[in-house]
Structure 1
Amino acid sequence: MVGYTPILTVFAICCDMFLTSTVYFSIYCAATRNRPRVLSRAILPGFLSGLMLKLATYCWFLTNHYLSPVVTFPIVSADYGLITALYGSLVFKDVKGLVNCFIFIVASCVVLTGSLLTAFSKV
């Protein structure tokens, strides 16, 4: 992959998402006769989550560049679910009870072990 730059791909995706959301918001403003209801408390978290998504997308393209997509896809697919589950269990206390916590820890260890073994299979 000579000359492949993941940053240009992510930049194109970011521009596409920005233009699409601008068009959707313009249509919404036109439909509400320029009186949109915007929750001001949601603007900064929405902006920050978009930045996190773009950083994750860039990292995914970067790992696709150095490893192969066959290796990176299982890792990324499993780790998204693991991070979401960790966030839900730590912030929202989704996992309750000693047995459920034990099962969650064992499942997290299995996912991490599988991701590490998949990554080291390329080395």
Structure 2
Amino acid sequence: MKSGLTPLCTYTSLKNELMKGNPWSGVFTNRKKSGEIWHSSITITPIHLGDQWYFVGIFRELEQLKEGIYLSEKKRAETQRELLKVLAISCEIRDPGIEAHLLRVQKLTEELVIVHNRRCQLELSKS
């Protein structure tokens, strides 16, 4: 099973999940007898029957995964969320009008607080 091409963390993740009784999915990189590299998507599910544990594995060969790395759906979603956060911050930084807009928002918020305090007859100071 160990070709030397699959990262050690993949095997660690596999072992940890199966020892907890959870199914595991991931990608292994293997080398055929011809020397050609191929990738397989594998799902292994532990099944407990009586006092015995059994493991059922299903795999399929992945095509066109010649470069880069495979990300699980969960990891892909997490990465995408983080990238979108960075993109949003980057867009704010590059927007030349953002400072003026934020100052307007701050001023209007302060005015809203003053009006609210008057309506509720609150004796709150600005400081």
- Structure 1 length as normaliser, TM-score? 0.25
Structure with higher Rg: it is 2
Q: Which structure carries more helix by proportion? A: 1
Q: Which has the higher contact order (CA 8 A, sep 6+)?
A: 1
- Structure 2 length as normaliser, TM-score? 0.25
